A = this chain, B = another copy of it.
């Protein structure tokens, strides 16, 4: 059992080629040395937030909204170093070189009360829609980060 590796391979495989079914995916995984049955893949898909969609060239898999959100949460919870605020804005510190990416993801979350973000190399300023909302913006961000993976 190596779930980590298996799920990394799943992500890779579906991003590389159009896979039409979970059985087919199982075969691809087997090529890469991971033997697993279809039931497990069904659960992986669920857990990773991957959906089957129909294209004109047949079915394939891709991350759905829930999967994207989960990936964002996991990612920024590592990239974010700490969160502070003063009377007028929220300040987020990130790992070096990640502020830009994290800020974009925060934007994409459309958290209530967020007016805009501005990112340098490892620092993000979050301007609230009103200075009265500073606290609730910080809380919203923290809540998002700590949300249980469903």
Contact = CB atoms under 8 A, between A and B. Distances in A.
A11 B84 CA distance: 14
A15 B81 contact: yes
Interface string A101-119: 1001000000000000000
A101 B81 CA distance: 15
Nearest to A8: B77
In which size bucket is the chain A interface? 20 to 34
A140 interface: no
Interface string A53-71: 0000000000000000001
Interface of A: 2, 4-5, 8, 11-12, 15-16, 71, 74-75, 77-79, 81-84, 93, 95-98, 100-101, 104, 145-146, 148
